[in-house]
């Protein structure tokens, strides 16, 4: 995470005690204005609205999608925020932002009120996936993660949209083989709807077909599980763009409906991407997909070549063009063929370079900082926040750095101080942008508020199921594991069988899977679909 790049902005820190003393000097574009005003009017957190657009469209307008946006991969969605198809909105981005803000607000249940972003989890799930709560949860997690990690990326208009990062540090969860999955690489098994696949194969499995979703990760997953999907499509796997996470939906031994005449012989893999936009095709997704394809080929004895690993566009009798021209076949095949232990990774793709030769370390052009992140070219004008562009260190590379000139104090005192929020008996010095809060920070309920490089940051620990509290003298306050509660109500990882339904607890969530036969596998997996 490029945490120190983030720039103080009063607009982006609303809801914290000191926000109204931080001057916003970065000029706001028309999209940013629309996000701010629509969010305010609808009572939706601004960052949540921007993160929704990021997760749905990567800030692009899906008005000129390829022909594959026909509803077989993912449900049709309209506009910058991926509104449900059929939503009556003028063809105007401002109207779309406003409609999305009002829709999100209307989807919040009365018992979900609260200040933290996580109190919007239910509304986000319903926004994305209607009544498919498991797919909706994926969408909510993606939006909340984007709001916490921060996003800085150009929209289709060229305007750069920004979400400040909130996270102090992340925590990696250990992977375990998911019940029902064919591969250890799978993060979860969510079975596709009955009727979208059938049991068994009518011929030997000898092909892998590469698809793009032409919509979001959760959108494709919920579509394959939806009675509303008239094509009754599915795929064996869906892979997420941001981090390569894999969801399995159909067992490889069963026939998924994704490639017509080749369904019986092929394993289908959907990649989260709108194929006209190269920003979706991340390094993380390529690597995760390549490991999965290698694993499939090894287990089924499929030759690793372009006759056996093909795009949907290459399947006879199909009228699709995915994965499209931005899918780098040479690079992908080199990853599939290369060593799976990662000891000598092949060079990155040379044919498609959305970053114009720039790497993560980036380059300074005057006060303009440009760098490459997740395959997308990013840029920011450091001068807009009174900073200069320069070399920070070997980890971050070039970055926005404090300039030589001291930041002038605010011209006017903040219009409204909130006395109950004020912890300090002494008024803080006027030139302290964090108003006396230091790196150790303070806890306000589950909100962690701290100062990092003269920028006030906040993070709602409840979003990751944690609480705010004192860690140690080095870190100060931080998000900590919640006191032992049992979110799974007695269900365990080893799980149990209820008839042929497998019920178990993973990542503090109760999971279920419909098995053909549920029973005890071994002491490390416990009960499983057998
Ligand atoms: Zn396809």
Q: CB of 331 within 8 A of CB of 355?
A: no
Euclidean distance between CA atoms 327 and 349, whole angstroms? 10
Taking the centre of ligand 1 as the mean of its atom positions, its distance from the CA of residue 208, in whole angstroms, is 12
Residues of the chain with CATH 3.40.80.10: 188-337
Taking the centre of ligand 1 as the mean of its atom positions, its distance from the CA of residue 410, in whole angstroms, is 55
Taking the centre of ligand 1 as the mean of its atom positions, its distance from the CA of residue 23, in whole angstroms, is 48
Residue position matching structure tokens 């589950």: 446
Q: What is the pTM of this model?
A: 0.52
Taking the centre of ligand 1 as the mean of its atom positions, its distance from the CA of residue 237, in whole angstroms, is 12
Q: What is the dihedral of CA 396, 399, 400, 402, to 10 degrees?
A: 60
The pLDDT, as a whole number, for residue 280 is: 94
Taking the centre of ligand 1 as the mean of its atom positions, its distance from the CA of residue 31, in whole angstroms, is 32
Q: CB of 370 within 8 A of CB of 358?
A: yes
To 10 degrees, what angle do helices 30-42 and 93-106 make? Answer: 30
Euclidean distance between CA atoms 108 and 104, whole angstroms? 7
Taking the centre of ligand 1 as the mean of its atom positions, its distance from the CA of residue 209, in whole angstroms, is 8
Q: Which of 105, 91, 10 is nearest to 49 (CA)?
A: 105
Q: CB of 288 within 8 A of CB of 185?
A: yes
Tokens of 510: 């109760």
| Angle at alpha carbon of residue 458, lines to 56 and 411, rounded to 5° | 105
Give pLDDT tens digits along the chain (530 positions).
Answer: 333 333 333 333 333 333 333 444 567 899 999 999 999 999 999 999 999 999 998 998 765 444 355 677 777 777 889 887 777 777 788 999 999 999 999 999 888 877 778 889 899 999 987 778 888 888 998 898 888 878 888 888 889 999 887 653 332 223 345 777 898 888 888 899 999 999 999 999 999 999 999 999 999 999 999 998 999 999 999 999 998 999 999 999 999 999 999 999 999 999 999 988 899 999 999 999 999 999 999 999 999 999 999 999 999 988 899 999 999 999 999 999 876 444 444 444 433 455 667 777 788 888 887 877 655 666 777 776 677 888 876 666 787 777 654 434 434 443 444 444 444 444 444 567 677 888 778 888 888 787 765 666 777 777 666 788 887 776 778 877 776 667 788 888 888 898 888 888 877 778 888 888 888 888 878 888 88
Residue position matching structure tokens 């005057």: 366
The pairing of strands 237-239 and 246-248 is antiparallel
Residues of the chain with CATH 1.10.530: 3-163
The pLDDT, as a whole number, for residue 315 is: 93
Taking the centre of ligand 1 as the mean of its atom positions, its distance from the CA of residue 256, in whole angstroms, is 12
- Domain 188-337, CATH 3.20.20.370 — does that match? no
The pLDDT, as a whole number, for residue 445 is: 84
Euclidean distance between CA atoms 422 and 406, whole angstroms? 26
Taking the centre of ligand 1 as the mean of its atom positions, its distance from the CA of residue 190, in whole angstroms, is 19
Q: Decide which of 1.10.530, 1.10.3470, 1.10.150, 3.30.160 is the CATH code for 3-163.
A: 1.10.530
Taking the centre of ligand 1 as the mean of its atom positions, its distance from the CA of residue 50, in whole angstroms, is 28
Taking the centre of ligand 1 as the mean of its atom positions, its distance from the CA of residue 314, in whole angstroms, is 10
Taking the centre of ligand 1 as the mean of its atom positions, its distance from the CA of residue 372, in whole angstroms, is 29
Tokens of 150: 């921060």
Q: How many CB atoms lie within 10 A of CB 19?
A: 19
Euclidean distance between CA atoms 81 and 155, whole angstroms? 12
Taking the centre of ligand 1 as the mean of its atom positions, its distance from the CA of residue 234, in whole angstroms, is 10
Taking the centre of ligand 1 as the mean of its atom positions, its distance from the CA of residue 310, in whole angstroms, is 11
Dihedral sign for Cα 212, 214, 220, 223, please.
negative
The pLDDT, as a whole number, for residue 11 is: 30
The torsion angles phi and psi of 498, rounded to 5 degrees, stand at -115, 95
Q: CB of 506 within 8 A of CB of 513?
A: no
């Amino acid at each position: 995470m490029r945490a120190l790049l983030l720039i103080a902005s009063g607009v982006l820190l609303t809801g914290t005690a000191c926000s109204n003393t931080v001057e916003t000097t970065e000029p706001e574009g028309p999209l940013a204005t629309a996000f701010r005003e629509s969010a305010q009017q609808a009572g939706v957190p601004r960052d949540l609205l921007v993160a929704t657009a990021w997760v749905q469209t990567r800030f692009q307008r899906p008005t000129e999608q390829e022909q594959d946006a026909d509803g077989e991969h993912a449900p049709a969605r309209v506009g910058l925020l991926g509104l449900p198809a059929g939503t009556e909105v003028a063809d105007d981005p401002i109207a779309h932002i406003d409609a999305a803000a009002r829709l999100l607000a209307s989807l919040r249940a009365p018992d979900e009120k609260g200040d933290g972003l996580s109190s919007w989890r239910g509304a986000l799930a319903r926004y994305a996936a209607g009544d498919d709560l498991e797919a909706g949860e994926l969408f909510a997690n993606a939006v909340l993660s984007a709001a916490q990690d921060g996003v800085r990326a150009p929209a289709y208009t060229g305007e750069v949209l920004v979400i400040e990062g909130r996270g102090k540090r992340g925590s990696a969860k250990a992977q375990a083989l998911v019940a029902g999955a064919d591969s250890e690489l799978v993060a979860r098994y969510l079975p596709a709807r009955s009727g979208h696949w059938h049991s068994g194969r009518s011929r030997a499995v000898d092909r892998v077909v590469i698809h793009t979703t032409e919509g979001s990760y959760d959108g494709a997953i919920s579509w394959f599980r939806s009675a509303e999907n008239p094509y009754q499509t599915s795929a064996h796997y869906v892979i997420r763009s941001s981090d390569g996470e894999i969801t399995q939906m159909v067992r490889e031994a069963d026939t998924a409906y994704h490639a017509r005449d080749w369904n019986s012989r092929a394993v289908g893999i959907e990649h989260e991407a709108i194929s006209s936009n190269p920003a979706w095709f991340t390094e993380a997704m390529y690597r995760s997909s390549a490991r999965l394809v290698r694993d499939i080929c090894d287990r089924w004895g499929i030759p690793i070549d372009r006759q056996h690993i093909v795009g949907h566009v290459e399947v006879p009798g199909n009228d699709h063009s995915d994965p499209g021209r931005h899918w780098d076949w040479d690079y992908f095949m080199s990853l599939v063929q290369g060593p799976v232990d990662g000891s000598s990774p092949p060079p990155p793709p040379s044919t498609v370079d959305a970053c114009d030769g720039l790497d993560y370390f980036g380059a300074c052009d005057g006060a303009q900082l440009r760098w490459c992140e997740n395959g997308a070219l990013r840029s920011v004008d450091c001068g807009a926040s009174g900073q200069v562009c320069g070399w920070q260190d070997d980890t971050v590379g070039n970055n926005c750095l404090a300039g030589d000139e001291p930041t002038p104090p605010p011209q006017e005192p903040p219009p409204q101080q909130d006395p109950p929020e004020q912890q300090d008996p002494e008024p803080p010095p006027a030139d302290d942008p964090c108003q006396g809060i230091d790196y150790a920070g303070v806890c306000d309920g589950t909100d962690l508020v701290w100062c990092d490089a003269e920028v006030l940051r906040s993070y709602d620990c409840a979003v990751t199921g944690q609480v705010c509290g004192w860690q140690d003298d080095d870190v100060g306050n931080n998000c900590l594991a919640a006191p032992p509660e049992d979110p799974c109500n007695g269900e365990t990882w080893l799980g149990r069988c209820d008839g042929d339904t497998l019920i178990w607890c993973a990542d503090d969530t109760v999971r279920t899977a419909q098995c053909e036969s549920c029973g005890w596998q071994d002491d490390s997996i416990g009960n499983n679909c057998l």
